[in-house]
Amino acid sequence: MIKTALDGIEAPPSAKLLGWRVLDVKPAEGWICVGFDGSAAFCNPAGFIQGGILSAMLDDTMGPAVFAMTDGRLYTATISMTVNFISPAEPGPIIGEARVIQLGRTIAFMEGRLDRADGQPIATATANARLLESARALR
């Protein structure tokens, strides 16, 4: 895998909680593939990973696509995100994939998806985010 701006920063506590790790990235294309640990601790009473946790995984997939695409210059603050839940997510590995649809001067448009390790779709999302200078946003 190629070296990206994501290699130069420590994952925040929320990403660590989710087991976030980069699997593959193509910065020039605004594309990223991320792995998550779908912990049993994230499950609802039915035994499936709670939707809010899945939404956090999607958010932590789409934002890093912009960060990698801009070589770490821009950080995203999500304005809105629409999530579609396709099938229940059982505990286990989850794969997130996202791409930047359009990168403007102040707003980014992104789309993402989560799949089980076997490729079964779990959820999709679209989001738009305000673009901030990373030097000012990251502490």
Supply angle C-alpha 94, 123, 106, rounded to 5: 100
The answer, yes or no, to whether residue 123 has pLDDT greater than 90, is: yes
Residue whose structure tokens are 């200078």: 133
Return d(Cα 59, Cα 129) in angstroms, integer: 10
Instruction: Identify the pLDDT of residue 138.
Output: 78
Range(s) of the domain holding residue 62: 5-137
Return d(Cα 128, Cα 2) in angstroms, integer: 26
Average pLDDT over all residues of the chain: 94
Note the residue count of the chain: 139
pLDDT digits (tens, 9 = 90+) for 48-87: 999 999 999 999 999 999 999 999 999 999 999 999 999 9
Instruction: Identify the pLDDT of residue 5.
Output: 67
The first and second tokens of residue 28, run together, are 């020039």
Instruction: Identify the pLDDT of residue 9.
Output: 77
Residue whose structure tokens are 């994939």: 97
CA 10, 66, 53, 91 torsion: positive or negative? Answer: negative
Q: What is the DSSP string of 13-34?
A: HHHHHHT-EEEEEEGGGTEEEE
The CATH number linked to 34 is: 3.10.129.10
Strand locations in the chain (E): 21-26, 31-38, 74-85, 92-103, 107-116, 121-133
Q: Which of 100, 69, 98, 71 is nearest to 5 (CA)?
A: 71
Number of domains the chain is built from = 1
Query: Terminus-to-terminus CA distance in the chain, angstroms?
Result: 27
